[in-house]
Amino acid sequence: MNSNRDDILLEELIDNEWLSVRSINICKVAGLISLNRILDFYSKKGSFMTIRNCGAKTDKELIEICKKYLASNPVNSEAKEQTESFLETINSLTPFQKATLNRHFEYLVSNLNVRSYNGLASIQEPLNPKDVFEKIFSERFSFKNIRNIGNKSVEELEKLKLELIRFVNVLQTIPKDQLSKEYTKLIVKTTFANLPENFEEQFENVFDESGKIKIFTLLNFLINSGKLFSEIQQIQL
């Protein structure tokens, strides 16, 4: 339990965050009757999709709330314990899992604002994932010690660390036969900007029942999303 944080009952959280009815019901079904219980569930599972009747939209809403409250108090006993064991955990990943983690890291870095990116680059250039992980997850490291970096950038980089922890937790739960599927999603997500909001749901149709890519369905998805050709070129086709 997050003992370093004043807990908030679910009823108060509903008022503060304007939770949807579906999210409220999901929390009640899982016994997540307070903020700390919600955060603990997220820290252990990395997602709320394991809760009965929880869909992608509800999962996203609850994750965003967790990220908000974790970022507001990134230095707590549980977070410290997680960061200390992070390097040991990633060293135990398979080569394919490490490649997937590295790709996700590159995606997160590409979304940093300029000042946050420069701050990260100042401690490790080039931004090799393995070297960056060893530095930012070391026991005494703090983003606050980077020169010429503001509170906003510190907060953004702390969120990056928390997202890496969350992603590794999720990565370890993905069956081996499904890992290539998740890696393909990452490749598309990190290569093409401004994908549809329901990208995850649409992209499921790209794979067959065994998880293999249906190449023509993938090409059709990218064309319809305007990622391979301009609108004029699509008309000409």
Say what the pLDDT of residue 211 is. 63
Residue 213 carries which DSSP code?
A: B
Say what the pLDDT of residue 172 is. 81
Name residues of the chain where pLDDT drops below 70: 1-6, 71-84, 140, 187, 189-202, 209-219, 221-237
Cα distances from 204 to residues 64, 101, 217, in angstroms, run 23, 21, 10
Q: Where are the alpha helices (DSSP H) in 19-137?
A: 21-29, 35-45, 56-72, 77-91, 95-110, 114-123, 129-136
Q: Which residue has tokens 């999603």? A: 185
Domain boundaries, the chain: 10-72, 77-173, 177-236
Say what the pLDDT of residue 27 is. 92
Say what the pLDDT of residue 214 is. 67
